């Protein structure tokens, strides 16, 4: 199992809208995440827009690849891209900075 932590930057003027979108994630998007191996997935947002994501999966690259093939993911990523800074033309699920795990208590 892989533990994944990543960073993205939400535009500060879009924080409230971003949070509202995540109160109402499409059911088919939630199903797609589960079916493609995303487990224990959480997002944390700092007041300046720093977004920290965490998930567990058996294989991140496979999970990302399987999600990329989902129509619902294409639609979700297209709609969510406007909330992020510094994507340089990439989708949010392609533009995150993955952090290296250096410790885990177990």
**CATH code, 79:** 3.30.70.100
Share of the chain above pLDDT 90, in %: 96
Please check the confidence at residue 82 and state whether its pLDDT lies above 90. yes
pLDDT tens for 5-29 read 999 999 999 999 999 999 999 999 9
Q: Could you tell me if 60 and 2 are in contact, meaning their C-beta atoms sit under 8 angstroms apart?
A: yes
Q: Which domain, by its residues, includes 21?
A: 2-99
Q: Is residue 26 part of a domain?
A: yes
Q: Is residue 63 part of a domain?
A: yes
Among 3, 19, 22, 39, the active-site one is 22
Reply yes or no on whether 104 is catalytic: no
Q: Can you tell me which residue has the tokens 């949070």?
A: 19
Q: Could you tell me if 2 and 41 are in contact, meaning their C-beta atoms sit under 8 angstroms apart?
A: no
Q: Give mean pLDDT, residues 56-70.
A: 97
Q: Is residue 106 part of a domain?
A: no
Tell which residue, 37, 33, 77, has the closest CA to residue 56.
37
pLDDT tens for 27-54 read 999 999 999 999 999 999 999 999 999 9
Number of domains in the chain: 1
Q: Is residue 105 part of a domain?
A: no
Q: Is residue 83 part of a domain?
A: yes
> Which DSSP helix (H) or strand (E) runs through 70?
none
Q: Is residue 57 part of a domain?
A: yes
């Amino acid at each position: 199992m892989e533990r994944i932590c990543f960073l993205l930057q939400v535009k500060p003027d879009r924080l409230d809208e971003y949070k509202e979108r995540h109160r109402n994630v499409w059911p088919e998007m939630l199903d797609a995440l589960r079916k493609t191996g995303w487990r224990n997935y959480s997002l944390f947002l700092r007041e300046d827009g720093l977004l920290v994501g965490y998930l567990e999966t058996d294989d991140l690259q496979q999970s990302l690849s399987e999600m990329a093939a989902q129509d619902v993911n294409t639609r979700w990523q297209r709609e969510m891209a406007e909330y992020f800074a510094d994507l340089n033309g990439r989708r949010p699920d392609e533009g995150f900075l993955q952090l290296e795990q250096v410790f885990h208590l177990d």
